[in-house]
């Protein structure tokens, strides 16, 4: 693949976007015509999951293609380890102009970004009191900026380019501009998925991260007041108004690519770093493995190269690095993700067979049928039947009837976790040593990060077949 044949690559991410914000993902009330069109012109992954359901860990996994135990950012406020290569580094070697626009929150900025238009910090809550027109909203500005930088590349005849357009919404504060703020006032929303006792039934690990320990009863009581219900409904309407506004802004970027002729040779990936509960299960936060938070939108499109209107199953955020590198004609054996691009380009299915992720001192696996969460310090977990318990309330972890499937899933998950290796560190630190070191060196250097993911996927598929109802 020579330089002229390499596609441009545009990665669009949002912050805190649930799957029910997209009609193409089955929502009956979402307003998302532009992302729906993108899905119809590309591939939709309806079981995509973030690598970690919290901002900085997920974004660090995105940039490095590594799971959180390897890159070290296991929670916001903890820097990822320095020295790991990032996928823009390898794109740079392939002749790409790397453009970063918007929110980073992945720690150290790779020097391989040629153009950086970064937004630091969070959106200002102070802006909520001021009505602003659409074009003055921060996320509209970021779309404008991404278009401006891509157009500069196009005019200069440079490229191919990689543009990372990282939007800040629908993360709070919920500040849809103008009419977007009232868009959902007359649109019926489904009831909040909450039952009394939901907070008390959350894992101790989750309640610790969320600051709920000892406050469960008090917090649940506060949800039952008319004032609380009114506030929750207002936040939900603003949230979906915000995602509709974001859809419109992404539509402007797609229109630019269409109108300039860039679209036919531009790989577009759209996704979000995590979702949020939005009061389902009684709270409005992330830091958990419930579907509303861990599962994320994920769309990929390159007309004429990737299939149109195809729906695939699993994807994980570590796959993004592997997928982008493959589209650019290169590869990193360090990356703990799977190349989704090449199989789909060849008319094959996605190689992902399950989702896997980590959160602070825990790990989780989701297969087509099951979800298992395991909490290392507490030495306990949660087991859900994904096909028959959509609300994830019937924890089967200690049910003797499901002991065998629990043990199989637990073995698969803990084997995966133990098998995660910092291959880059291993390669760079193997200097000298005795006869054992010399014997093991060729074996170690032949390994790749994708192997542990493939082994887990094969095991997950076997478990689903073994325990299929």
Report which secondary-structure segment, H or E, holds 113.
none
Q: What is the mean pLDDT of residues 389-399?
A: 97
Report which secondary-structure segment, H or E, holds 423.
helix 423-429
The rounded distance, in Å, linking the Cα atoms of 78 and 88 is 22
Laid out side by side, the sheet with 370-375 consists of 355-358, 362-366, 370-375, 380-385
Higher pLDDT, 289 or 429: 289
Residue 3 has pLDDT above 50, yes or no: no
pLDDT digits (tens, 9 = 90+) for 85-144: 999 999 999 999 999 999 988 988 999 999 999 998 667 655 555 678 899 999 999 999
pLDDT digits (tens, 9 = 90+) for 142-199: 999 999 999 999 999 988 999 999 999 999 999 999 999 999 999 999 999 999 999 9
Higher pLDDT, 90 or 224: 90
Q: What is the mean pLDDT of residues 292-307?
A: 98
Return the biggest CA–CA distance within the chain.
73
* Predicted TM-score (pTM) above 0.85: yes
Please calculate the CA angle 231-233-238 and round it to the nearest 5 degrees.
95
The per-residue pLDDT for 351 is 96
Residue 226 has pLDDT above 70, yes or no: yes
Q: Name the residue among 239, 268, 255, 273 with its Cα closest to residue 102.
A: 273
Residue corresponding to tokens 């914000």: 21
Domains and CATH numbers, the chain: 3-353 (3.40.720.10), 362-466 (no CATH)
Per-residue confidence band for 2, with pLDDT thresholds at 50, 70 and 90: very low
Residue 469 has pLDDT above 70, yes or no: no
pLDDT > 70: percent of the chain = 97
pLDDT digits (tens, 9 = 90+) for 22-57: 999 999 999 999 999 999 999 999 999 999 999 999
């Amino acid at each position: 693949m020579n330089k002229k044949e390499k596609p441009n690559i545009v990665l669009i991410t949002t912050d805190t976007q649930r799957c029910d914000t997209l009609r193409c993902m089955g929502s009956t009330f979402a307003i998302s015509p532009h992302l729906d069109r993108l899905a119809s012109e590309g591939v939709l992954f309806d079981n995509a999951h973030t690598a970690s359901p919290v901002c900085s860990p997920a974004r660090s996994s995105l940039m490095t293609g590594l799971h959180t135990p390897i890159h070290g950012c296991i929670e916001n406020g903890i820097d990822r380890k320095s020295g790991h290569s990032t996928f823009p580094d390898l794109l740079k070697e392939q002749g790409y102009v790397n453009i970063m626009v918007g929110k980073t929150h992945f720690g150290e900025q790779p020097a391989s970004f040629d153009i950086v238009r970064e937004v630091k910090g969070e959106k200002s809550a102070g802006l909520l009191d001021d009505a602003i027109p659409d074009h003055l909203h921060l996320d509209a500005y970021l779309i404008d900026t991404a278009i401006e930088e891509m157009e500069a590349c196009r005019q200069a005849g440079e490229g191919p380019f990689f543009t990372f357009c990282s939007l800040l919404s629908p993360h709070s504060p919920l500040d849809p501009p103008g009419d977007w703020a009232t868009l959902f006032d007359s649109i019926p929303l489904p009831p909040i998925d909450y039952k009394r006792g939901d907070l008390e039934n959350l894992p101790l690990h989750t309640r610790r991260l969320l600051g709920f320990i000892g406050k469960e009863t008090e917090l649940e009581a506060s949800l039952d007041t008319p004032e609380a219900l009114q506030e929750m409904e207002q936040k939900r309407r603003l949230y979906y108004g915000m995602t509709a506004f974001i859809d419109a802004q992404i539509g402007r970027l797609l229109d630019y690519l269409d109108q300039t002729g860039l679209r036919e040779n531009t790989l577009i990936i759209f996704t979000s770093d995590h979702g949020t509960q939005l009061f389902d299960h009684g709270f409005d936060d992330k830091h958990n493995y419930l579907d509303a938070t861990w599962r994320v939108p994920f769309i990929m499109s390159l007309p004429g190269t990737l299939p149109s209107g195809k729906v695939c199953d699993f994807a994980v955020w570590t796959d993004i690095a592997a997928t982008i590198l493959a589209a650019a004609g290169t590869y990193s054996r360090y990356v703990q993700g799977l190349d989704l691009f090449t199989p789909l380009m060849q008319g094959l299915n996605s190689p992902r067979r399950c989702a896997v992720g980590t959160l602070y001192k825990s790990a989780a696996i989701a297969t087509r049928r099951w979800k298992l969460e395991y909490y290392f310090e507490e030495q306990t977990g949660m087991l859900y039947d994904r096909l028959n318990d959509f609300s994830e309330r019937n924890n089967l972890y200690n049910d003797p009837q499901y002991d065998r499937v629990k043990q199989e899933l637990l073995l698969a998950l803990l084997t995966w976790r133990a098998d995660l290796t910092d291959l880059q560190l291993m390669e760079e630190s193997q200097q000298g040593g005795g006869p054992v070191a010399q014997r093991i060196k060729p074996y170690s250097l032949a390994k790749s990060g994708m192997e542990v993911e493939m082994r887990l996927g094969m095991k997950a598929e076997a478990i689903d077949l073994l325990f299929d109802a």
